[in-house]
Amino acid sequence: MFDKQIILYEYKKDNNASLIKEELYLDEELLFSYDYKNNKVINNIDEAKTIDFGKKINMNMSALKYLYVNTMHWSNNSPIKLFMEFVEHMLWFRSLRDNEFMGLLPDNVNLSDFIIDNGLIKDFEKFLAGCGQKYKLCEIDDGSKTILGVKYNNYKAKFHEVMSTGTSALWLFYYWMNRLEDISFIFLDEFDAFYHSNLSEYILKYVNSKDKIQSILTTHDIYLADNELMRPDCYFILGNNKIKSFADCTNKTIRQGHNLGKMYIGGEFEI
């Protein structure tokens, strides 16, 4: 929703992940549609009426994005402009084998440089302590530059050489949580892959405390399904090519005292 207007964007892809169709609606009125197979376009966007779709759009490129970047002037309150700016600031990331991300670019910032250059060493240390990771962080000379280090009595080590896989994931998470002014929507894929349950709960609460972004987190830990953490309609089951909220998966009235995890294990939710 932008300025009380509801924007609905839908797309379809084939088995090769190539685009087949795009549609954009504003308050249920079709604004734009593009059929990639037939090169058929419906364009009801006044500011972009002159865009030529005579040449077939590449199926790996969004026709809507093509329209947006090739339109010279957009008003500041244009729903298309607001929508595209929102999309351009979406972020997906995870830390499994490597630190991976898609969407918002990190400007090639080194995580160690980011902590040091922004004076966040003590804040990062406090964040890790809240996650049960007790480190005495410091700056150390790596010969060519200053990097993030750890103190062990009279000995110092490079932080990236002594941290665990789980701490590495927390480091990336902390970085993005300090870039929230650049982010509109965040998708944390398998966010708790290296976390124990208490830490996973802490991270979930931490994300939910941020009121400037929308977020989706994926997990296999059903014990995070808790009425104390989120409402039942904020938990979704993904399966059988469907996605459905807990609230829509049962005929039972879900009350505050219900244990959502036990209800799920007991087969109460059907997708």
pTM, two decimal places? 0.74
Tell me: pLDDT of 146 over 70. Answer: yes
SS3 at position 60: coil
Tell me: pLDDT of 27 over 70. Answer: yes
SS3 at position 27: coil
Position 248 scores a pLDDT of: 93
Domains along the sequence of the chain with CATH: 7-81 (no CATH), 90-224 (3.40.50)
**175 with 160: CB under 8 angstroms?**
no
**233 with 225: CB under 8 angstroms?**
no
Tell me: pLDDT of 96 over 60. Answer: no
Strands 90-95 and 99-103: antiparallel
Question: Which position has the token pair 């929508």?
Answer: 83
**Mean pLDDT along residues 202-206:** 88
**Residue 154: C-alpha distances to residues 136, 146, 150, 161 (Å):** 12, 18, 10, 17
Position 56 scores a pLDDT of: 67
Tell me: pLDDT of 12 over 90. Answer: yes
In the structure, what pLDDT confidence band is assigned to residue 237 with cuts at 50, 70 and 90?
A: very high
Rounded to an integer, what is the distance from CA 12 to the centroid of its chain? 21
Question: Which position has the token pair 């087949």?
Answer: 20
Tell me: pLDDT of 20 over 80. Answer: yes
Tell me: pLDDT of 181 over 90. Answer: no
Residue-wise pLDDT tens digits, 29-70? 999 999 998 889 999 999 998 888 877 677 678 999 999 999
Which one is predicted more confidently, 212 or 100?
Answer: 212
How many angstroms separate the CA atoms of 110 and 269, rounded?
Answer: 44
**127 with 209: CB under 8 angstroms?**
no
Number of H helices and number of E strands within the chain?
8, 13
**Mean pLDDT along residues 96-119:** 75
Structure tokens at 11: 């797309």
